[in-house]
Amino acid sequence: MKSNRLFVFIVLLFSVSMLYAASEPLKVVLHVNDGHKLGHLANSVKNIRHEMGENVAIEVVVNGKAVTRLLKSNITNTKVMQSVLKQNVPVGLCHNAITNNRVDRSLLIDGLDVLEADGNVTVLNYQRRGYLYIKM
């Protein structure tokens, strides 16, 4: 009889935990460090929104050489970033990557944020706060 109660308790506990997990909003951090992958970013954001809904918290972190492709003069990537920003997705750029690649901040695409922390540290902090990680 005790084993039946234990089984029922375990099933009940599992059911409650699944309901709690389902009620938690989904949080995703998209990480881009390859400038050639920036074109996929807008599609990925659009697909996540379409499949998972508007309640998904999406954050973008860009570091490495990819920051050099986020200048206003790059029309293609400006359109990509505008599309991402229009979907209420913030885009953060690693301040170390900007400094190391000698990118003039005044030339960056409007609406992009320069992170206070290193890009990789930012990604780690998002993961610690429950964000799922997707490498672009």
3-state per-residue secondary structure call for 92-111: EECHHHHHHCCCCHHHECCC
Domains defined for the chain, CATH in brackets: 25-135 (3.40.1260.10)
Question: Would you say the pTM of this structure is higher than 0.95?
Answer: no
Q: How many CA atoms lie less than 13 Å away from 42 in the CB half-sphere? A: 13
Apex 38 CA angle, 35 and 39, nearest 5: 125
pLDDT tens across 60-107, in order?
Answer: 999 999 999 999 999 999 999 999 999 999 999 999 999 999 999 999
Question: Using alpha carbons only, what angle is made at residue 127 by residues 83 and 122, rounded to the nearest 5 degrees?
Answer: 65
